[in-house]
Every structure is written in structure tokens, then in C-alpha cells.
Structure 1
Amino acid sequence: MLQKSITKVIAGQGGSYGLKSALLCSSWFFQFGVKTKQFFDSTSFQKPSRVDAPVVCIGNIIAGGSGKTPFLQRMLTDLKTISPEHIAVVSRGYKGQYNKAADVLHLNKERDLTAQLCGDESYMLYKNFPSHGFFVSKNRYKGALRAVCRGAKLVFLDDGMQNNTLFQDMRVVVLHAERLFGGEGVQKGFFLPRGPLRDFPSSLKKANFIVVNHACSEEKIERANKALEHYSTCPIIYTQMVKQGFFDESGRVEMAANSRIGVFCGLGSPKSFIDCLKEEGLDIATSWFLQDHEKANVEALDQFALKAKTMGCKFLVCTEKDWVKLIKREGYALPLCFIKSELAIVRGQDAYATLLNSVKTLVKERV
């Protein structure tokens, strides 16, 4: 219950004065810790370790919901001139059981893998790109080193902008158009745990490219352009999520525009997911929001399905990230399906082409 209350405060959805005050005090300590770490990183004699392959970091400055994973998927899809077996992704497997292990987990067919073991995002990427290399390790340098030993000529570091143990040849920072700096619109938000901010906006000066996701209007694009001028002069790529359809275990699911549905998800920012469903003309009768990366409990999901059925719902809909975590996908009072979306470039196509070419050049220079 406390965790849910904290999540609502971080998302700006209310909360008691006492809880907000307590979290604000904690956020001051977090902010001080970030500032202290940046100071020692800039003055330390110990340089970040290098591996024998270029490292491209896909990072952010807020916790959850910016769109790092969809953008990484887009890049993996578009880097067609590099063999998949030569591309590796290293992540810490957030919320996975292996996140606390000291070793490196190589995701492959020889292991009995689950989203609970390696983290939902790592597992989803592995299922969508089985020919690429995926490695989970809380020590990013060890993970990248293992990837190179397994033949990687290009390493993507998933969510490693605040990590200084591994040298990064290129940094791509993904922002959310509706809360660029953690607050509403272009306002600076609070640091964790009072708000979603995990780094100073000034850190954007370290970025080689900036991606602004959920840029679904010209107003948001122009607003972001103006705000980012104060922090960076690097190329900016504007993107948004585009629905590809609804799917279940058997394949595509046809759903009428006015279908009555129940929805559940464990996202840092579920608003974009809900907005997407509403844009499809779907009637959302009831919703169940879990913590970011939280798995839906089978018994609780069964009760939610029964509740949704009594409200006239025909389906339960979740995100692809929630789908891969489900242990049981059939046998409920209502059929389950997930919405599959892909990231589309809406402005900055030339900047995106430059990004892809820059990555290819990094690989050629190391070969």
C-alpha cells in the first residue's frame, strides 16, 4: 500500500502532505548523492574501463516510461548492415532475480529463461531479437566484456547513462515529451523518490543524440525544441508509438473499435498506454495499475477478470512488457491479449540517419 502511494506521488497523482514532505526530504539526499557522484566521476583518477568494441549507451534522466526499450528495438531493427550475432545488448535486468547476482547471464536457448529471472525488458528484447546477444549483469563492464568474448562487435548499454564503470563511445538520451525534465511539460521535477528525476537536466550536455518520445503534436515538438536549447546543441530525434495491433498466444486478435475492455499494466507512466487505447475508440470500463515492472499475480488477475466480465468487458488488454511476465495466459473469465506498438520517427529523420551511420562508422573503425 505504501509503495502504491509513493508511486502516485512520483507520478504527480496526489498523496498526503505528510508523505510528500517525507519523500521531499529523501529526494534532497538523493540529489546530493547524484551531485557527489558526478563530482567524484569528474575528478577520479580511475578512468572507465574499455572493451574491444564500441559501446553505445541508451539512457535517460527520469525513472520509467521515457521509451528507451522501444527506441533500442527500432535501432536493432534498422542496423541491417551489421550481422545480428555481432550486436549485443547489456542490461542490469531491472526487477529480475539475476539483477542481484555477481555473475553475467547470457540469454540463450540453452537456459531456462523467464522474465522473472532476467527482467521483463531484457526477456522481451531477447524474444523479439533471438539472433542478437543479450547479457544481464549488474556490473556493466563484466557484461560488456562477456559480450565481446562471445563475438560482439557492437555493444548497446541499456540504461547506463549514470554508470561510469564502462567507457561509452556514444550516448543517446531518451526523454518523454510530456515531462522532459521530470515535471509537467518542460518544468523541472523533483528527484527520486519525491519525483521521477534521477539526473540533472544539465547532464544532457553529455549526449551525442537526444530522442524525444511521445511527441504526438507540433506543439509538443516546438516546446521541447525551445526547452532543450538551454542544455544541448546535439541533434534531436522526435518519435511516437504507433499501434501494430492486438495479439495473444495464437496471433493477431481482431477487436472492434467500440469494444468494452479492462486494462492492466505495470508501467512507470501508464498514461501513454491508456491514451493509445482511447484513440482506438475502445471503451475502458476498468483498469488495474501495478508498480513499474511488477508482475500480475495469477489470483489477483483472476479476480480482476471476473470483475471486468460483470462490467460487460469482452477482453483484458495489457502491454507486451506485461504479457511476457504472465505465467498463466489462458483460463480466465475473459480472454487476454496485448497491444503491440512500434516506435516511429515523426521529425528528425536526417538526425536518425546520422545516428545509424555514426554507429556503423564506430564499428568499422574498430574492425
Structure 2
Amino acid sequence: MRPPAFWQNPPRAAGAMARMLQPLGLIYAAVTANRVARQGYRAAVPVVCIGNLNVGGTGKTPATIALLARVEGAHVVSRGYGGALDGPVRVDPMRHTAAEVGDEPLLLSAFAPTWVAKDRAAGVRAAEAAGAKLVLMDDGFQNPSVQKDFSLIVVDAERGFGNGLCLPAGPLREPVAAGLSRAQALLSIGGEAAQAQFVRDWGATIHIPHLRGQLKPLRMGMDWRGQRVLAFAGIGHPEKFFATLRTEGAEIVKAVALDDHQPLSDALLRRLETEAATLGAQMVTTEKDQVRLPVSFRSKVLTLVVRLEVEDWSCLDKAMAGLKQS
């Protein structure tokens, strides 16, 4: 499902439909405020939440991967969106599938011990019992079941906070000011132009450390220049993946935008394979989609891997060091 276009209207210019739905958004915001006021489980180790204010993809998974490279002894706890297992269970990439644990936890398990738990507090307890020195919560900023020691809000700089309104009038889970007041840092992800526009639109509301980063392809010896590709992606904003491929020089002869976390059925994969053969194109997808492919199909699909590069990690490094000492 693609989000409605009016969600991305400029702030203070939400449009007629958004204004009509705004009373429902105010109710949604009030319900969220009441929920987050509850006190949840207090872990014996620091808990760092990688969250967002928007629904949909903002770059939380790349941010989690980047942060894992900067901390030691961390375990990841995720709800495992789309997975069938309730948990808590430690993800085993040799045994579990994305249908069981979710695509993001399966991807993250390659970087650190990763736990899936519909009950996040139970997941944190399991990580503690397994020796975690620090817990990174993948999402869950609006979930009060676990107390957070540090929360990093991730936002797509190009999309920002949309029209600034809460569901269903806009893309927000809670008002920007309320969400940022509970967070310790903000990370906006995007290119220079997008970052500049984000600051123009939202800079006045930001009173916490603001990190800026960009997703860049990981150099793996693959030259995309002139490659005819059929690109498919089931992520929050597939068009960003397609744009990155074009920037790398690939010729996209067919772009297939799937829903976020959409199951890759046998019928869908057969259709993509047939289309690619007809077009004389190589199939290519994202790292998150790759883990959802059947093992027998993965050799047919190339993966464009991206990593988050942050301009200045110093404020976050200092905060992480402080958490370990406390």
C-alpha cells in the first residue's frame, strides 16, 4: 500500500483531506501520549531504541547496522514484523526464514545476536540472560513495555515529517515536538539538498543533537555501469533504491515496486524471472529483500548493498560511552 500523496504536502499546507481527517489525528496523538506515559520493564543493561515518528521506512535498519559497528557486546531486540514466531527466540539465519522471524531481524542477525519477541520486554530479558552488555531495540519508540536509556529518532530527510500531522491525517505516529522531547538524538538520512530542505522545514523544532547521514553503496567489486537490470524492491520507499541504481550507472529496463515486507511468492518470482529473461536483464534487489528470497533462487539475483555514512558520530559515541559507564 502506497501512502496517500497528501501526507507529503509541505508543513502548514496539509490540504483539504488532511484538514478533514485532523480530528482523528488528534485522537490518535492523544492515545499515543497516554500509552507512552506508562512505565515498562527496567533492564539491568542500557537499552538504546532506534525509532521513528513516521510510519513506513525511514532507515532504521541501516542505522542499527551502523550503530552495531560502534558498540561492543550489543544484542538486537525486534518485534519481527511479518514473522510468525512470537518468541522470544534468537534468530538463527541457518535455521529461520523471513516468514518466521521477519526480514529485518534475519538481516540484522548477520551483525549481532538478534532476538525476535512480540513481547519486547521478554525479548530484552532473553538478551540480558544471554549476556548482552547493551540492547538495541529495532523500533518500539512508542511502545512503553521497556524503559529506554537513549532513543535515536531516524527520519528520511527528503520526506521529513510529511505534513506534520498524525495518522490518518498525516504520516506521524505522534506529534514531532512530543516525540523529539522524549528522544536524545535525531538522525536525518539523505543527500545535501534533502538535508538542507529538512532543516528549513523542521529545524526550529529540533532541540536535541542532530546527526546527518547518507546511504551509499558498499563497494564490492561490482561495476553497475551499463548493466541492464530488472530491479525489484519491497521496502518503505522503493524509488530510492531505483535512484541509487541509476546513480551507479545501471540501466533499469523494468522497476517493480513492491509493498514493504511483501512476501516473495513463487508465482511472483517466476514472473520476475520470465520478464528479466525476455528483457535480457539481470535481476537485482535490496539486501533486505534478498533475505526473503528462497535459498534456491538467490543465485539468480544480484544485491545492491548500501551502508549508512554519518558526517559526525561524536555526540552519539559520547552518549554510548556514558551509558556503559553508568
TM-score (norm 2): 0.88
1:64 corresponding residue in structure 2: 56
1:16 corresponding residue in structure 2: none
1:139 corresponding residue in structure 2: 119
Deviations 1:338-361 (A, max 9, x none): 10111111x3x1xx2221221122
- 2:291 aligned residue (299, 318, 324): 324
Confirm or deny: 8 A CA contact 1:10 1:196 kept in the other structure.
no
- 5+ long unaligned stretches in structure 1: 14-19, 247-251
What is the distance in 2 between the residues matched to 1:91 and 1:269?
A: 21
1:280 corresponding residue in structure 2: 248
- Judge which range, 147-156 or 46-55, deviates more: 46-55
Change beyond 3 A, Cα 1:22–1:304:
farther
What is the distance in 2 between the residues matched to 1:275 and 1:12?
A: 22
What is the distance in 2 between the residues matched to 1:330 and 1:172?
A: 36
2:324 corresponding residue in structure 1: 363
What is the distance in 2 between the residues matched to 1:153 and 1:40?
A: 28
Q: Aligned residues, how many?
A: 319
For 1:141-290, list aligned pairs within 5 A: 141-181=121-161, 183=162, 187-188=163-164, 191-193=166-168, 195-202=170-177, 203-214=179-190, 216-217=191-192, 219-245=193-219, 254-290=222-258
- Judge which range, 235-244 or 29-38, deviates more: 29-38
Q: Counterpart of 2:89 in structure 1: which amino acid?
A: L
Deviations 1:251-292 (A, max 9, x none): x6x444111111111011112111101101211111222110
Q: CA deviation at 1:21?
A: 9.9
Confirm or deny: 8 A CA contact 1:63 1:197 kept in the other structure.
yes
Secondary structure of the equivalent of 1:224? helix
Deviations 1:89-142 (A, max 9, x none): 1110011112xx2x4112247x82111111100000102x1xx32111121111
2:109 corresponding residue in structure 1: 126
Q: Counterpart of 2:135 in structure 1: which amino acid?
A: V
2:11 corresponding residue in structure 1: none
1:339 has 2:300 as partner? no
Change beyond 3 A, Cα 1:192–1:311:
farther
Change beyond 3 A, Cα 1:327–1:146:
same
- 1:117 aligned residue (100, 104, 110): 100
What is the distance in 1 between the residues matched to 2:16 and 2:279?
A: 38
Change beyond 3 A, Cα 1:353–1:161:
same
What is the distance in 2 between the residues matched to 1:160 and 1:177?
A: 21
Confirm or deny: 8 A CA contact 2:28 2:167 kept in the other structure.
no
What is the distance in 2 between the residues matched to 1:26 and 1:95?
A: 28
Change beyond 3 A, Cα 1:290–1:31:
farther
Confirm or deny: 8 A CA contact 1:295 1:322 kept in the other structure.
no
- 1:104 aligned residue (88, 92, 117): 88
Q: Counterpart of 1:358 in structure 2: which amino acid?
A: A
Change beyond 3 A, Cα 1:275–1:256:
closer
Q: CA deviation at 1:194?
A: 5.9
- 5+ long unaligned stretches in structure 2: 9-14
What is the distance in 1 between the residues matched to 2:134 and 2:298?
A: 43
What is the distance in 2 between the residues matched to 1:112 and 1:331?
A: 16
1:295 corresponding residue in structure 2: 263
- 2:314 aligned residue (338, 353, 365): 353
What is the distance in 2 between the residues matched to 1:75 and 1:258?
A: 34
What is the distance in 2 between the residues matched to 1:142 and 1:31?
A: 31
2:12 corresponding residue in structure 1: none
1:90 has 2:77 as partner? yes
1:75 corresponding residue in structure 2: 67
Q: Counterpart of 1:52 in structure 2: which amino acid?
A: A
Secondary structure of the equivalent of 1:294? coil
What is the distance in 2 between the residues matched to 1:22 and 1:221?
A: 28
Change beyond 3 A, Cα 1:24–1:112:
farther
Q: Counterpart of 1:204 in structure 2: which amino acid?
A: L
What is the distance in 1 between the residues matched to 2:83 and 2:194?
A: 34
